[in-house]
Amino acid sequence: MTKPLHLLVAALSVLLLVVPPARADVDVAGVKFADKTRVGNAELSLNGAGLRSRAFFKVYALGLYLPEKKGAADAVLSVKGPKRIQIVTLRELTAEQFADALISALEKNHTEAELAPLKARVEEFRAIMLGLGTAAKGSTVTLDFLPESGTRLQFNGSAKGKDIPGEDFYRALLKIWLGQEPAQADLKEALLGKQS
């Protein structure tokens, strides 16, 4: 082997070692969550994804995207910057069912004193949710946190309502799934990357 060719082969070998592995999507009940997504100008990584079920019914698949992966709930709750919760419904849900379930879980994870400064924003969020009507099976709801404007709710790719200000509000939403009384314990573990 000539010296230039030998150097080329060596350089290519080194490149193969440093090229990151191919992106691996995560499949939850047939819903694929991409390993990476963009919120605003930030690239976020899938922290974890899991299934929300009730009795024998699959209700929705959920993926949590953060600027960097975190394995503990407290660490996730203290992450600054853009974030995304992506929910894909696995059965038809009325807006009222969806909104009431989220608000109930939010209330379980906060004291009255903690909820007091959030009350108006929680009502605004509930009103936006109720405006969605019925979410057919396969509908996508994203809850993005944008540092410059707050929480943005999108339904099947379209923004709904006004952005709700305050990182404290988004942190409260995260506690629905990551709080002391999460909507579902194994879903919490999955969102923290502790199970697939």
Q: What is the mean pLDDT of the chain?
A: 89
The listed CATH number (3.60.150.10, 3.50.70.10, 3.40.50.1460, 3.30.390.50) that belongs to domain 23-191: 3.50.70.10
Tell me, what amino acid is at 158? Answer: S
Evaluate if residue 80 carries a pLDDT over 60: yes
Please report, in angstroms and rounded to a whole number, the separation of the first and last CA atoms in the chain.
47
pLDDT at 98: 85
pLDDT at 40 over 60: yes
User: Tens digit of pLDDT for each residue in 119-145?
Assistant: 999 999 999 999 998 999 999 999 999
For the chain, give every domain's residue range: 23-191
What is the pLDDT at residue 35? Answer: 96
Angle at the Cα of 106 from the Cα atoms of 101 and 108, rounded to 5 degrees: 95
pLDDT at 90 over 70: yes
The reported pLDDT for the residue numbered 194 is: 84
Q: Higher model confidence: residue 186 or residue 17? A: 186
Q: Which of 174, 124, 126, 132 is nearest to 157 (CA)?
A: 132
Share of the chain above pLDDT 70, in %: 87
The answer on pLDDT for 101 being more than 70 is: yes
From CA 38, how far away is CA 56, in angstroms rounded?
34
d(CA 82, CA 96) in angstroms, rounded, equals 27
> How many beta carbons lie within 10 A of that of residue 110, not counting itself?
17
- pLDDT at residue 8 tops 90: no
**pLDDT of 22 over the 60 cut:** no
Do 153 and 141 touch, CB atoms closer than 8 A?
A: yes
